[in-house]
Amino acid sequence: MDLPNTIRVVQSAVGVESDGKPGPETWEAIRSQICPGTESELVSAEDLASPPSSLQTTDRVDDRSEKVIATLLPEVQPYARALVSRAAQHGITIKVISGLRTYDEQNDLFSQGRTKPGRVVTKARAGFSNHNFGIAFDIGVFEGNKYLDDSPKYKAVGVLGMDLGLEWGGNWKTIVDEPHFQLRPKWAAEMPERDMLAELRTRNDSGKAAYV
Contact residues toward Zn ion (CB under 5 A) are: 138, 180
Instruction: CB nearer to Zn ion: give 81 or 180.
Output: 180
- The distance of closest approach from Cβ of residue 177 to Zn ion in the complex, given in angstroms and rounded to an integer, is 6
- The distance of closest approach from Cβ of residue 210 to Zn ion in the complex, given in angstroms and rounded to an integer, is 16
- The distance of closest approach from Cβ of residue 203 to Zn ion in the complex, given in angstroms and rounded to an integer, is 20
Query: Nearest-5° angle of CA 170, CA 183, CA 163?
Result: 60
Instruction: CB nearer to Zn ion: give 153 or 180.
Output: 180
CA distance 47 to 39: 13
CA distance 158 to 155: 5
- The distance of closest approach from Cβ of residue 19 to Zn ion in the complex, given in angstroms and rounded to an integer, is 49
What is the length of the chain? 212
Residue nearest to Zn ion (CB): 180
**Residues 126/196, Cβ–Cβ less than 8 Å:** no
**Residues 171/181, Cβ–Cβ less than 8 Å:** no
Instruction: CB nearer to Zn ion: give 75 or 138.
Output: 138
CA distance 112 to 16: 62
- The distance of closest approach from Cβ of residue 18 to Zn ion in the complex, given in angstroms and rounded to an integer, is 50
79 by DSSP, 3-state: which? helix
Instruction: CB nearer to Zn ion: give 11 or 132.
Output: 132
CA distance 92 to 79: 17
CA distance 164 to 58: 16
Instruction: CB nearer to Zn ion: give 123 or 208.
Output: 123
CA distance 72 to 96: 11
Instruction: CB nearer to Zn ion: give 138 or 167.
Output: 138
- The distance of closest approach from Cβ of residue 73 to Zn ion in the complex, given in angstroms and rounded to an integer, is 15
